[in-house]
Amino acid sequence: MSGKLGILKQNAKVFISRSQNIFENLAFEEWLLRNYKPDEGNESMLMWSNKPAVVIGRHQNPWLEADLNYLKSSNIELARRHSGGGAVYHDLGNLNISILTSQRRHDRRRNLRMIAEALSQEFNIKVEPNDRDDLWLQPGRRKISGTAARIVRQVAYHHLTLLVNIDVDVLKRSLLSPFRETILTNATRSVRAPAVGYLAQEIPNVTVEKVQNVITESFKKQYLHTEVIILSSVMNDQQFLGVLECEKELRNWEWIYGRTPQFTLPLYSDRIKVEHGVVTESLKNQKSIGSRLPENVIQTYLGFAVKPIFGIDTTKYLAEVKAYLCEIPKGYDPKLVALNATVVAALLGALIYPFYAYLIGDNTVTEKKQTI
């Protein structure tokens, strides 16, 4: 290891999580941050891999950053993390790394140099940080890692993805929103890399476990003593008091969708306004709607997509029926009215469209869709 990084006269811990659940691992990462004591000098590194998931930044819009319909149909989880930055894709061919320090010791560049030098020397490849605190695999400036950070009460973590042997096609498909050109918002937008790479392109037979071991050994060289802790479960509330509450928060609709900054979305000749994941008004006629925006947003805000009948786009009329029913009189609970309207609109679709399907001999007129 190069001497550029220096020696830290401190102890350290390396946590290796065997959980493959994105919510559990993000919850444990947050638990470490909330319970870290900077005066004790124990810097830590957490590493894990997840089953397929898209993770958006704290200030991002999920409808803008991912194809939510594709995620649902492909059993890919959607999570919102506590740190800022852009959207990333995880699967078991990706290694997640989080380095926890005091705010005073927080240094992204040092962490990235440590990882880049370890990979370059061990595998005889060229990995280098860029000015956006990403890692490039050369030649070709292929992005193999994106990073973000969080600082709370003089404690910080710097975390990053590291693409080892990932399905790039699924990555690109997951992060390709059909609404990227139509949503208007001030939410943080991800900056797409011109080229995406992964270590297996240059290192035959490389595994996540091998890369994990290389980075662990490199991290240990910076400290006088390092304890490596392998966790079969990170959801032990007796051992990590409060971690279950952290996980519950991360799974909550209000966190994943409700934290979305305000945005507007086109609907036929109109635009609707959405705040905290809830449709609040139509900009054309200023009528509050008050219902949650379905995660897939398939043409209308009903729970299903409908094929045209006799060449007529009938989804438009069902959408207008629901919008009319969602006009909220004074003194009524907006969410209750929205719920009733959703039920009525769904019943219209359930009763009327199968009848039309029978008339025209089409058994595939209605396609059920799940909403949150």
Per the listing, tokens 């059920």 go with 368
Alpha-carbon gap, residue 161 to 138, rounded angstroms? 17
Please tell me the pTM assigned to this model: 0.76
Can you list the domains of the chain with their CATH numbers?
3-256 (3.30.930.10), 263-368 (no CATH)
What are residue 101's phi and psi, to 5 degrees? -145, 180
* Displacement of CA 301 from its chain's centroid (Å): 23
b/e string for 160-192 if b means 16 or more Cβ within 10 A? Answer: bbbbbbbbeeebebbbebebeeebebebbbbee
**Alpha-carbon dihedral of residues 332, 337, 339, 345, nearest 10 degrees?**
170
Q: Which range among 170-179, 181-190, 209-218, 245-254 shows the weakest confidence by mean pLDDT?
A: 181-190
Q: Helix (H, G, I), strand (E, B), or coil: what is residue 247?
A: helix
Q: What's the pLDDT tens digit per position in 264-323? A: 877 666 677 787 777 776 655 444 455 566 565 533 333 233 334 344 444 444 444 444
What are residue 100's phi and psi, to 5 degrees? -110, 125
Alpha-carbon gap, residue 68 to 179, rounded angstroms? 10
Alpha-carbon gap, residue 44 to 157, rounded angstroms? 9
Q: What's the pLDDT tens digit per position in 41-80? A: 689 999 999 999 999 999 999 989 999 989 999 999 999 9
Q: According to the model, what pLDDT value does residue 48 have? A: 98
